[in-house]
Amino acid sequence: MKIKDSYFSYFTMYFFYYASYALFTAFTSIYVLNKGYTSVDVSIIVSSGLIAGMATQPIIGYLSDRFNIKLLNTILLSLSALFGLVFSFLNDVFFMAIMYAIVFLLMNGVNPAIEKTATTSRFRYGTLRIWGTIGFAIGAQLAGLVNQYIGASFIYFLFCLTMLLSVCGMLFTKNNVDTLSIQTNQSNYKATLFGNKQYTMYLIIASIFWHIKCIWNAYSSNVTAKWIK
């Protein structure tokens, strides 16, 4: 069976990336609250990841355009798997916030590159993207089952495992983007940011949507748990 540039390699990359994403984020609020911390502590930890991701996304994007995108993303995701495991051993809010920020920026920073890998593959994007949705749903469900029957700390071991499986899938995908041919034009960037009203409107709408989405992701599991009780 040929694995290189096969549908299975893209499936593995997509499915396990979003499964690990769900495992790490879905129950963070409950995990922190169960350690005896407050909702304020939860917001500090979660917001640290969002701020770090926003600050470093352009840097990761720049590196992806300049270097081997597959090698760079393999390193970043492998580091996120390692640091995600470390996160489960921490008990201080300050260090938990730092570690959560590191994992989130590494994991979230690779997301555009994964999407690019899928859109430039020889397979239809929709047939690949659906596995990301399924992976996230299964990851969230698995996190709940593990939290109830095994222990919340084991969730981060599964996160590490699924992220490494995603890396394995990525290694067998084909890099169809020639990063050396990408040219940077600073004047075009300025024109796009400050002279395109449609693009500016998109940024505003996307920011509002993302803000609401992040709040929901941070506290939905805790609110749902209280409703069930």
pLDDT by residue, tens only, the chain of 229 residues: 577 878 899 999 999 999 999 999 888 888 888 888 887 888 888 878 777 777 777 777 777 778 777 888 899 999 999 999 999 999 899 999 999 999 988 888 888 888 888 888 888 888 888 998 999 999 989 998 998 899 888 999 999 999 999 999 988 887 655 444 444 444 455 555 556 777 677 767 766 766 666 665 555 555 555 555 5
Q: How far is CA 96 from CA 45, 64, 159, in A?
A: 7, 28, 16
The total number of residues written for the chain in this structure: 229
Residue 194 forms part of a structural domain: no
Global pTM?
A: 0.79
* CATH assignment of the domain containing 103: 1.20.1250.20
Domain that holds residue 176: 7-185
3-state secondary structure at position 41: helix
Judge whether 125 lies within some domain. yes
The answer to whether position 139 is within a domain reads yes
